Amino acid sequence: MVRKTKEEAAATRNLLLDSAEEVFFDKGYSNTTLMDVANHAGLTRGAIYWHFKNKIDLFAAMVERVHLPLESLAEACADENETDPIGKFREFSVILLKRLAEDRQMQRVFGIMLHKFEYNGEVEELELRQICAFTEFTNRIERTFRNAIKRGQLSEDLDTKQAALTKHAFFSGILNNWLLYPQSFDLAEMAESLVDNYFFMLVNSPHLRLTKN
């Protein structure tokens, strides 16, 4: 009986997260209420409070559900024991783009974060979480690059900070533009070429080198 209850609770939680994705995507974060999500799921608002403290907690869980499967891949790239950090990082980057092109749930959540969440200072906790995620992502890329330098895959004079920021901007731009207008290009088909363009720049651009004093 206990096991069945846990399974039912997990199913209800996932139903609420599915509903949150759809309602946040349709209405945006600010215009969505917990009652909207409950109605969409065919449940009461009390069911939401059984699983989530508030709308912020619901939103964060929705984002985490999509991010978690990518976390192990991303962390593997930054592992200092990885013998092929650039190869692993390229693999992760291609997987990210191809998965986004094929995964409707991932498209909704990334679309909400990029286009349906209003950075207006009213939800400081969520905005701080996004800033922390950006910082961690940038630091993780830098660790990957430092390991690649140590293993002779990248030049010793690479400006790892600027290279990491450029990587973030490059791929955020691709995701943002494709989610805004998916018909503009075939993301899955172009994934490897787009990734290789960045890595060519990483290896060859003189503007990603540390300046000598």
Which CATH number is 64-208 given? 1.10.357.10
Per mean pLDDT, which range of 60-69, 149-158, 183-192 is the poorest?
60-69
Q: Assign domain 1-52 to its CATH superfamily.
A: Homeodomain-like (1.10.10.60)
HEC assignment per residue over the chain:
CHHHHHHHHHHHHHHHHHHHHHHHHHHCCCCCCHHHHHHHHCCCHHHHHHHCCCHHHHHHHHHHHHHHHHHHHHHHHHCCCCCCHHHHHHHHHHHHHHHHHHCHHHHHHHHHHHHHCCCCCCCHHHHHHHHHHHHHHHHHHHHHHHHHHHCCCCCCCECHHHHHHHHHHHHHHHHHHHHHCHHHCCHHHHHHHHHHHHHHHHHHCHHHECCCC
CB 168, CB 74: distance < 8 Å: no
Structure tokens at 172: 């955020």
Q: What percent of the chain has pLDDT over 70?
A: 97
Quote the pLDDT of residue 70. Answer: 83
In one letter, which amino acid is 201?
M
Residue 1 has pLDDT above 60, yes or no: no
End-to-end CA separation in angstroms for the chain: 70
Quote the pLDDT of residue 47. Answer: 93
Q: Where are the domains of the chain?
A: 1-52, 64-208
Q: Would the CATH topology of 1-52 be identical to that of 64-208?
A: no
Assign 129 a pLDDT band (cuts: 50, 70, 90).
confident
Residue 188 has pLDDT above 90, yes or no: yes
**Strand-pair partners of 209:** 158
Q: Give the mean pLDDT of 105-127.
A: 89
- Separation of alpha carbons 194 and 72, rounded Å: 23
- Separation of alpha carbons 89 and 172, rounded Å: 16
pLDDT tens track for 7-32: 899 999 999 999 999 999 999 999 99
pLDDT tens track for 140-178: 999 999 999 999 999 999 999 999 999 999 999 999 999
Centre a 10 Å sphere on the Cβ of residue 129 and count the other Cβ atoms it contains: 16
Assign 2 a pLDDT band (cuts: 50, 70, 90).
very low
